């Protein structure tokens, strides 16, 4: 395991973040999480592109080129000598005495290369609870401010569930750290890629895979009752890939989940066959 902070590689447990770093005091920054399979970073270009969009959305200027960032990420992976890993990288508004408005100092890039979290058992699936989506209205930005997300996840975990599903005014938006899908009569439904959800990289891949498998997919709003009455439900993220949901609150989902299984397998093949 290894880390990078600002301008140099450091040990994963080194104490390097200055007390007046804006991520530390305001959560003022953005991040990405990518998976490494077999020594290769999966979908790195897509994640870097979203990173750039998040930076633009919060008026953050890159301290160096995206190309250089990519070099640092790849060098970190190489130094870590890891084959299976999770890389976290973030960009913050820099180091400056605490004041709310932008300080006009260089942004700070940092990264960790760590062991990948174990994949959950996709055959078993995961349980989920539904909670009110209390987040702000710019959820498409991969912001460091994750307080509503971590509190929702904690509530789920305390009920032995793997994920909390957010609903805003009754409409299912996404999970606390995933995108959410419902399958009804052979059609896959998921919330449109508006500002109310993160435009998941895994979500976009699932679109492609569904098209290849000739499974129709609709970006359409649906409510909590629709999700609970669906034939199948699943969520996606870099960490869990495609994960079927077996229970939502007190509702047990059907045992048979052919479309979720097909997509989960197709997604695994994307990196296994490389
Ligand atoms: N979370 N929605 C939210 C709110 C997320 O935090 C994530 C990912 C996703 C799925 O995005 P992607 O398919 O690009 O990973 C959707 C990351 C993995 C995290 O915070 O650890």
CATH code at position 32 = 3.30.470.10
Q: Based on the domain organization, do 214 and 254 belong to the same domain?
A: yes
Q: Based on the domain organization, do 192 and 230 belong to the same domain?
A: yes
Q: Based on the domain organization, do 172 and 226 belong to the same domain?
A: yes
Residue 86: CB atoms within 10 A of its CB come to 17
The whole domain housing 195 covers 126-272
Distance CA 95, CA 25 (A): 10
Q: Based on the domain organization, do 139 and 202 belong to the same domain?
A: yes
ipTM field: 0.98
Which residues are CB-contacts of 138 (< 8 A; sequence separation ≥ 6)?
57, 195
Strand pairing category for 163-168 and 126-132? parallel
Q: Based on the domain organization, do 175 and 265 belong to the same domain?
A: yes
Residue 17: CB atoms within 10 A of its CB come to 15
Does the pLDDT of residue 162 top 90, yes or no? yes
- Mean pLDDT in the chain? 97
So what's the pLDDT on residue 273?
74
Q: Based on the domain organization, do 45 and 174 belong to the same domain?
A: no
Rounded distance from Cα 273 to ligand 1 centre (Å): 24
So what's the pLDDT on residue 119?
86
Helix (H) or strand (E) holding 20: none
Ligand 1, atom 8: closest residue by C-alpha:
177
Ligand 1, atom 4: closest residue by C-alpha:
177
Rounded distance from Cα 179 to ligand 1 centre (Å): 7
Domains held by the chain: number:
2
DSSP state of 267: H
Q: Based on the domain organization, do 155 and 216 belong to the same domain?
A: yes
Structure tokens at 13: 């447990």
Q: Is the residue at 120 inside a domain?
A: no
Q: Based on the domain organization, do 94 and 136 belong to the same domain?
A: no
The arithmetic mean of pLDDT across residues 215-223, rounded, is 98
Distance CA 7, CA 64 (A): 11
Q: Closest by alpha carbon to 176, among 92, 232, 239?
A: 239
Q: Based on the domain organization, do 95 and 47 belong to the same domain?
A: yes
DSSP state of 124: T
Q: Which residues line ligand 1 (CB under 6 A)?
A: 33, 149, 174, 177-179, 198, 200-203, 236-239
So what's the pLDDT on residue 120?
84
Q: At what angle do helices 44-57 and 201-212 cross, to 10 degrees?
A: 130
Distance CA 227, CA 250 (A): 13
Q: Is the residue at 121 inside a domain?
A: no
Give 3-state DSSP helix, strand, coil % of the chain, rounded to 5.
30, 30, 40
Ligand 1, atom 1: closest residue by C-alpha:
177
Does the pLDDT of residue 183 top 80, yes or no? yes
CATH code at position 145 = 3.20.10.10
Q: Closest by alpha carbon to 133, among 182, 170, 98?
A: 170
Distance CA 78, CA 32 (A): 19
Active site residues: 142
Q: From 92, 115, 138, give the residue that closes a domain.
A: 115
Q: From 64, 95, 115, give the residue that closes a domain.
A: 115
Q: Based on the domain organization, do 150 and 64 belong to the same domain?
A: no
Q: How confident is the model at residue 274 (pLDDT cuts 50, 70, 90)?
A: low
Match 């629709």 to its residue by tokens. 226
Q: Based on the domain organization, do 62 and 136 belong to the same domain?
A: no
Q: From 66, 86, 115, give the residue that closes a domain.
A: 115
Distance CA 104, CA 189 (A): 43
For residues 131 and 164, is the Cβ–Cβ distance under 8 A?
yes
Q: Based on the domain organization, do 82 and 32 belong to the same domain?
A: yes
């Amino acid at each position: 395991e290894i880390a990078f902070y600002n301008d140099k590689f450091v040990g994963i447990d080194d104490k390097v973040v200055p007390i007046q770093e804006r991520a530390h005091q305001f959560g003022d920054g953005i991040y990405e999480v990518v998976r490494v399979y077999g020594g290769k970073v999966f979908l790195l270009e897509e994640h870097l592109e979203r990173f750039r969009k998040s930076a633009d959305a919060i008026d953050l200027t890159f301290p160096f080129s995206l190309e250089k960032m990519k070099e640092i990420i790849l060098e970190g992976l190489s130094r870590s000598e890891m084959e299976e890993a999770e890389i976290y990288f973030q960009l913050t508004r820099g180091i400056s005495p605490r004041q709310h408005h932008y300080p006009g100092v260089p942004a700070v890039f940092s990264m960790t290369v760590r062991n990948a979290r174990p994949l959950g058992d996709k055959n078993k699936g995961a349980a989920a609870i539904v909670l009110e989506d209390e987040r702000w209205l710019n959820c498409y930005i991969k912001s460091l401010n994750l307080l509503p997300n971590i509190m929702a996840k904690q509530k789920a975990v305390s009920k032995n569930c793997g994920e909390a599903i957010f609903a805003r005014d009754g409409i299912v938006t996404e999970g606390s750290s995933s995108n959410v899908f419902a399958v009804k009569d052979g059609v896959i439904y998921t919330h449109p890629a508006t500002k109310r959800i993160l435009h998941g990289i895994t979500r976009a891949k699932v679109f492609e895979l569904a098209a290849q498998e000739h499974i129709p997919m609709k970006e359409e709003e649906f409510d909590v009752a629709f999700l609970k009455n669906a034939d199948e439900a699943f969520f996606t993220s870099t960490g869990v890939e495609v994960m079927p949901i077996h229970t939502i609150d007190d509702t047990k989902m059907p045992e048979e989940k052919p479309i979720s299984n097909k997509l989960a397998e197709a997604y695994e093949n994307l990196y296994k066959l490389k």
